[in-house]
Amino acid sequence: MIPVAKPALGEEEVKAVQRVLESGMLAQGEEVARFEGEFAAYVGTRHAVATSSGTSALHLALLACGVGRGDEVITTPFTFIATANAILYCGAKPVFADIDERTFNISPGEIERRITPRTKAVLVVHLYGQPCDMAEIMELCEEHGLMLIEDACQAHGAEYRGKKAGSFGDAACFSFYPTKNMTTGEGGMVTTSSDEVAERVRLLRAHGAVRRYEHVELGYNYRMTDIAAAIGRVQLRKLEQMNARRIENARRLSEWLEGLKDVSVPYVTEGVRHVFHQYTVRCRRRGRVIAELERSGIGYGIHYPKPVHRQELYARLGYSRACLPVAERASEEVLSLPVHPMLEQEEVERVAEAVRRADR
């Protein structure tokens, strides 16, 4: 069986965890601080603040940017549900803007159409590892006085015009879930060059405490452990190599799948570095391709089979009436194929051949 995702873990990660376990210092400590410094340097921001998950990073980033009850935050409906849920956690209202047909990322034109006097922020998602059109989105946010937050949970090491994803907005969020381009087992990170945003994220992630047993406001237990950080530091050192493998695997797949009648390979925008958290094709006959993959012992994923506004929770909140046709069509056609760095050349070829057989 070729899995659709597989973490690239080895002896270095084992030794890093063993070192922390033997130290007896397991909770947030020096290992987390070192990981934060190294990650900020990699992304190119003044600060990085480690959290317990990508979802908690999103929640804290929104709060630190001043999002609260009664505010509106424009975001994409074509994402993992945590993106929108984090807005609800703040008491704010998600406002969904449709996506670009080729990249599946939020459309800047659709963002502009949905700005109202209650709009506080724009939360973009660099979907599948490809950055959004940040120049146009940043211009929109500046023109309308909006906070800009990047959901870079799938975009570790991605670049837009030579600058790393996670360094454009007032804040950005990363996830280190096991299937991501790098992992800590579970964990997240907020990156920012704002001293004020970083200070507030640090305050809120640890019960609103300014020092031990002195709490100035309602906070959360969103801290990362030193065990997770130790894994993350090793993974960060490997990230460029792992991303290079993903990019090369994606190149091979696109080369072998180009020109099929029912399957379209991923579109890569000029001037970006797509790091292929997912290699997602578009299939007019998705069921036929899935059946062939299953017969061939090849894993796959559908990211995502239902846009957020069509989820039951959001339907109850009144979003089912939203008209977002591009996202809805995409949900019926997208299919993610294995692209992870643990794939062997022969396995990449097997994946491509199975898709080609289904297209005959």
Ordered per-residue pLDDT tens for the chain, 360 residues: 999 999 999 999 999 999 999 998 899 999 999 999 999 999 999 999 999 999 999 999 999 999 999 999 999 999 999 999 999 999 999 999 999 999 999 999 999 999 999 999 999 999 999 999 999 999 999 999 999 999 999 999 999 999 999 999 999 999 999 999 999 999 999 999 999 999 999 999 999 999 999 999 999 999 999 999 999 999 999 999 999 999 999 999 999 999 999 999 999 999 999 999 999 999 999 999 999 999 999 999 999 999 999 999 999 999 988 899 999 999 999 999 999 999 999 999 999 999 999 998
Q: Model pTM?
A: 0.97
Work out the mean pLDDT of the chain and round it to a whole number.
97
Domain boundaries, the chain: 11-234, 239-358
What are the Cα distances from residue 298, in Å, to 90, 92, 237, 265, 343? 40, 41, 29, 18, 12
Asked if residues 97 and 114 have their Cβ atoms less than 8 Å apart, the reply is yes
Residue type, 272: V
Which phi and psi angles does 323 have, rounded to 5°?
-105, 100
Which CATH number is 11-234's, of 1.20.1560.10, 3.40.47.10, 3.40.640.10, 3.30.70.2740?
3.40.640.10
Q: Which CATH number applies to 239-358? A: 3.90.1150.10
- In the chain, alpha helices (H): 11-23, 30-43, 54-64, 82-89, 108-113, 134-144, 195-205, 226-257, 286-295, 312-316, 325-333, 345-358
How do strand 272-273 and strand 214-215 relate by DSSP bridges?
A: unpaired
State the sign of the Cα–Cα–Cα–Cα dihedral 142, 147, 153, 156: positive
For the chain, the first-to-last Cα distance in angstroms comes to 23
* CA–CA distance, 235 with 70 (Å, rounded to integer): 40
Asked if residues 79 and 125 have their Cβ atoms less than 8 Å apart, the reply is yes
